Amino acid sequence: MEKFLKQLPQLAKDKYNENKKYLAKLKKKPPKDLDYRMRELHEEEFAETDCLQCANCCKTTGPLFTNADIERISRHFKLKPQQFINQYLKLDEDSDHVLQELPCVFLGYDNYCSIYEVRPKACREYPHTDRKKFYQINKLTLKNTAICPAAYNIVEKMKSNIKL
Ligand code: SF4
Ligand code: SF4
């Protein structure tokens, strides 16, 4: 995994134009069963990819924290939402709440998330490869192929399995 993670930014860069073209085509004419096929590809990939060997998303890109996330996680720490914000979060250029620092402060040395049960929705859903209407997040997917080995592999498999 470590070797793959090192190579991933370059691999994603090499495939960028090809992937962009493919995803644009997918958006134009998505197959009727796309949601079902994405779920299959996602499940297949995550049966093989162990996030505990990776944690690259937690190390290199943080989640957005919604108000519901902030309320839930503050309750977990018995903090007021504003105290939690002051301690851990900042506003990004789009005025969204994000982590003050990366790697994520809640990530353990063993790659376990210390707030797993109450983690942000964005963490639960990352890399969004099993979401409905996958073609709606093409820009994000292109970005994720350079961060997440599973997202990279899924897009590779899409190109050979979902012919457009
Ligand atoms: S909250 Fe947990 S899952 Fe989310 S980035 Fe931090 S360590 Fe990773
Ligand atoms: S979701 Fe992707 S980047 Fe995050 S830990 Fe799992 S394989 Fe790694």
Read off the pLDDT of residues 129-144 as tens digits, 9 standing for 90 and up.
999 999 999 999 999 9
> Is residue 8 within 6 Å of ligand 2 at its C-beta?
no
The Å distance, Cα 162 to ligand 1 centre, comes to: 31
Cα of 119 vs centre of ligand 1, distance in Å, is: 6
Ligand 2 atom nearest the C-alpha of 58 is 4
Candidates 99, 105, 101, 95; CA nearest to 85 is 99
- The answer to whether 87 and 79 are in contact (CB under 8 A) is yes
pLDDT at residue 154, as a whole number: 98
Q: pLDDT above 90 covers what percent of the chain? A: 99
Query: pTM value?
Result: 0.95
Whole-number CA gyration radius for the chain: 17
Residue 76 backbone dihedrals phi, psi, to 5 degrees: -60, -40
The token duo for 34 is 């796309």
Pocket test for ligand 1, best of 123, 124, 128 (most atoms within 8 A of CB): 123
Q: Is the CB of 38 under 6 A from ligand 1?
A: no
With a 6 Å cutoff on the Cβ, whether 149 touches ligand 2 is: yes
Contact indicator for 25, 162 with CB cutoff of 8 Å: no
- Nearest atom within ligand 2 for CA of residue 127: 1
Please choose, from the candidates 130, 142, 152, 149, the residue with its C-alpha nearest in 3D space to the C-alpha of residue 23: 142
Over the stretch 42-72, which tens digit does the pLDDT of each residue have? 999 999 999 999 999 999 999 999 999 999 9
CB of 155 within 6 A of ligand 1: the answer is no
